[in-house]
Structure 1
Amino acid sequence: MGLEKEKYLKIRKAQAQGVRTVEELKEIESLLRNACACKNVTIDEVVKAVENGADTVEKVGEATKAGTGCGRCKGIISDIIENKR
C-alpha cells in the first residue's frame, strides 16, 4: 500500500509542477519503475529477488544491489517484502 501511495504522490507532484502531456507522464512512470536509483534496480528485479527467497532488505541488497547506495530506497524494498508475504 505504501508504494502505491508513493507513486500517487509523485505523479500528483509532477502534475502540480506542470506535467500535462502523456509523454511527460510516461517519463514519470519510467522513473517510478525504479526501486533504487543509485544502483538502477527496478521494482520488478526487487520483486523477483523476494520471490526467490530474499526476505530482508539486506538479502535483497545482496541479490540486486538495491539499498546498498544511499539507502533511501530501503523503505520501498521493505514495502515490497511485506506485500509479498
Structure 2
Amino acid sequence: MVLDDLVLSAGLAGTGNEHHRRELSRLLRGAIDGGPALDVPALCLAEVTAARPALAGHLADIIAAALTGAIDICGLSRIDHI
C-alpha cells in the first residue's frame, strides 16, 4: 500500500478526522507488527514534512521502529548490518 502526503497529513497532522488518524495508525501498526508493507514516496514525505516540520521526527521514529522492509521510502530500505 502506498501512503501519499494527503494520507500522512490527514492521519498525522490533524487535517483529517478521528477516522483518518485511526486508520493510518492501524496501517502503520500493522506494518510494524509484520503485516502488509507500506510504501511512502520520498516526494510525498518531503511535502508533508515541509508543510508540518514537526512530523519529520515523528515519522522517523515510526519508520525506525518498523521491521526492515515494513515501511519503504522511495525504494530506499533500511538495511540491518551485522
* TM-score (structure 2 length as normaliser): 0.34
Structure of larger gyration radius: 1
